[in-house]
């Protein structure tokens, strides 16, 4: 039995994925793909999720690329990471740099219209309703501040 040569980097969607990890874990290296989405993609591509990504032949990797490209058409809208786009109104699955740009645009839009969340983003405070009395403090003073006599 001959040993297969492992590819340490597998390029999918303009991102180098770690070839030493399993397909399930390696696909989560793409921004916009989590564990659940990764398992759905490996099932759509008919690839063993526990197989090492770098040991796969080129044909299964091409099937994974095709499954990622056709993911939006093969799953219900509640499984997509952008169910209703603000401008187009359609459901999308954004990946990589597209996802980062969309999030940045959303935050900038909230800042521009001066919504509560936008103001919190602007001032660097917590946005999602967390408590701020004891955590999320910024600045140089650490600990309890004493009154001067």
Domains of the chain, CATH where assigned: 9-75 (1.10.8.50), 79-123 (no CATH)
* 75-97 pLDDT, tens digit each: 999 999 999 998 899 999 999 99
How do 15-18 and 9-12 pair as beta strands? antiparallel
Distance CA 16, CA 54 (A): 11
* 104-149 pLDDT, tens digit each: 999 999 999 999 999 999 999 999 999 988 888 876 666 676 777 7
Q: What is the CA radius of gyration of the chain?
A: 21
Q: What's the pTM value of the predicted model, to 2 decimals? A: 0.81
Say yes or no to pLDDT of 61 above 90.
yes
């Amino acid at each position: 039995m001959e040993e297969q040569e492992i590819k340490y980097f597998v390029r999918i969607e303009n991102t180098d994925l770690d070839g030493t990890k399993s397909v399930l874990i390696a696909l989560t290296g793409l921004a916009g793909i989590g564990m659940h989405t990764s398992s759905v993609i490996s099932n759509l591509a008919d690839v063993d999720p526990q197989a090492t990504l770098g040991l796969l032949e080129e044909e299964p990797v091409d099937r994974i690329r095709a499954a990622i490209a056709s993911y939006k058409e093969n799953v219900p809208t509640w499984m997509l990471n952008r169910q209703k786009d603000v401008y187009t109104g359609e459901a999308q699955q954004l990946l990589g740099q597209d996802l980062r740009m969309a999030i940045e645009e959303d935050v900038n839009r909230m800042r521009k219209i001066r919504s509560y969340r936008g103001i919190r983003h602007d001032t660097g405070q917590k946005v999602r309703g967390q408590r701020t009395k004891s955590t999320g403090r910024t600045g140089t003073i650490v600990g309890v501040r004493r009154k001067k006599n």
